[in-house]
Chains A and B, each alone.
Chain A
Amino acid sequence: MHLDHTHPHTHDGPAALSADAHRPDGRRRALRIGLGGPVGSGKTATVAALCRALRDELSLAVVTNDIYTREDAEFLLREAVLPPERITAVETGACPHTAIRDDISANLEAVEELEDEVGPLDLILVESGGDNLTATFSKGLVDAQIFVIDVAGGDDIPRKGGPGVTTADLLVINKTDLAPYVGSDLARMAADAKAQRAELPVVLQSLRGEGGVTAVAQWVRERLAAWTA
């Protein structure tokens, strides 16, 4: 049997344009927020805390991009922050930044699959594998991104800048409770970040401290309100 050679330009049907705000059935898709940052800065812990803070009010799912294991996904499963069907691990062939920026096809499959299987969803958190300071998310994959660094990684990171620190929609400086022990100057980090980011927001957070993830959760709620408006 032969297909004919007509090529009308259409975008209907499943798996349409990546950044399209609507699903094939016309409903608005979930807001997608990416979390990136260096290894050990607390991305997975922040995701877990966000899930605990938001799961009563929102329909949530998480995609993890692990470098060579499923440990981040398994941490979330062990912590029981979400039921297992709401957590998907994407394998990245040793290049996590490729999977969130240069070739987002596997992540797009994962977010769409989650919406198909457990939807409707309000919010999908896409966590990057721990990478370097240049890793950012493609706009074809996420609607907003959070960059997580920590005080123990060196208090000169905000000053050094880089795409993550400079352009992320929210910069989180994590583990502030450790600052006295590692000799990091919180005030200087905040000032450097402000200088790099102009009007873009910065949150200083300690997940062990009193406020916990409250400020980041509030920022997510605001993004969601803007998305659904």
Chain B
Amino acid sequence: MTRAALLVLADGRFPAGGHAHSGGAEAAVKAGRITGASGLESFCRGRLHTAGLVSAGLAAAAALGMDPAELDAAADARTPSPALRGVARRLGRQLMRAARVTWPSAELDALARQFPKGAHQPVVLGVAARAAGLGAEDAAYCSVYEGVSGPATATVRLLSLDPFDATGVVARLAPEMDLVVGRAVEAARRAVHDGVDVLPAASAPLLEIGAEGHAGWAVRLFAS
């Protein structure tokens, strides 16, 4: 693995569409559940241990070379909200485009042919990590970091939150990100032998319900 490749893939400026999504933060802000840095931290912590863990497990499993189609079905079963399934596939397709140009690979080409409308983003992320010469842990780190930094950046725009405070939130969550990555990778390694059912399935009911509401708004800053 190369650390520099990890930074390229984890960079918020990697052109894969993430900037237009708030990871549920916009809905939580509108509902009054995030009003400042402490609410943002609590939101990000909950997201990290639920949707974040699930995504990291899928990404790690894909990076280990598990069948992307099986992982994609497992991702569907772990995403009850159709709005979020749609978002995950759109972002997966956007990431696929960026990754294929950045790290040309037969596996990415095959995945693109198999899922012309997009596979779940964490699955694509794992295959992209392989193409970049990265491992399961790297894929899981990219996934959890994006899952926390996305809502933090979005909240800076939504609440005009002090960007230093938002970055402080992300930094304070770093030890828990390490923990979640450890759990995700451990589960992914077991899944290689025991199948996708042993991958994490932690749920965040308000993220799912909030996403359905958000999808119906006429006026919003973020796509999700």
Q: Do chains A and B touch in the complex (CB under 8 A)?
A: yes
Residue of A nearest to B67 (CB): A1
Chain B residue contacts of A109, Cβ below 8 A: 17, 90, 93-94, 97
Most buried by A among B16, B90, B95, B100: B100
Residue of A nearest to B14 (CB): A103
Stretch at the interface among A91-99, A162-170, A185-193: A91-99
Q: Confirm or deny: A10 has a beta carbon within 8 angstroms of a beta carbon on chain B.
A: yes
- A15–B100 contact, CB under 8 A? yes
Q: Confirm or deny: B45 has a beta carbon within 8 angstroms of a beta carbon on chain A.
A: no
Closest Cβ of chain B to A153, distance in Å, is: 24
Q: How far is the CA of A12 from the CA of B131 in the complex (A)?
A: 16
User: A15 and B15 in contact (CB under 8 A), knowing A8-B106, A10-B104, A91-B222?
Assistant: no
- B222–A11 contact, CB under 8 A? no
Please report which residues of chain A, range 80-100, place their CB below 8 angstroms from some CB of chain B when the two chains form the complex.
90-95, 98-99
Stretch at the interface among B19-27, B47-55, B74-82, B138-146: B19-27
As a 0/1 sequence over residues 96 to 109 of chain B, the CB contacts with chain A under 8 angstroms (1 = contact) are: 11101100111101
Interface of A is mostly: loop
Chain B residue contacts of A6, Cβ below 8 A: 106
Contact of A94 among B18, B68, B157 (CB under 8 A): B157
Chain B residue contacts of A99, Cβ below 8 A: 19-20
Q: Confirm or deny: B4 has a beta carbon within 8 angstroms of a beta carbon on chain A.
A: no
- A93–B112 contact, CB under 8 A? no
Residue of B nearest to A14 (CB): B116
- A93–B22 contact, CB under 8 A? yes
Q: How far is the CA of A103 from the CA of B65 in the complex (A)?
A: 28
Q: Confirm or deny: A106 has a beta carbon within 8 angstroms of a beta carbon on chain B.
A: yes
Q: How far is the CA of A104 from the CA of B23 in the complex (A)?
A: 19
Q: How far is the CA of A98 from the CA of B17 in the complex (A)?
A: 10
Q: Which 3 residue pairs across A and B have the least CB separation, nearest first? A: A93-B20, A105-B94, A91-B223
Contacts beyond the supplied A7-B131, A14-B113: 11 A-B pairs with Cβ under 8 Å? A1-B66, A2-B67, A3-B107, A11-B100, A91-B223, A94-B157, A99-B19, A105-B97, A109-B90, A109-B94, A109-B97
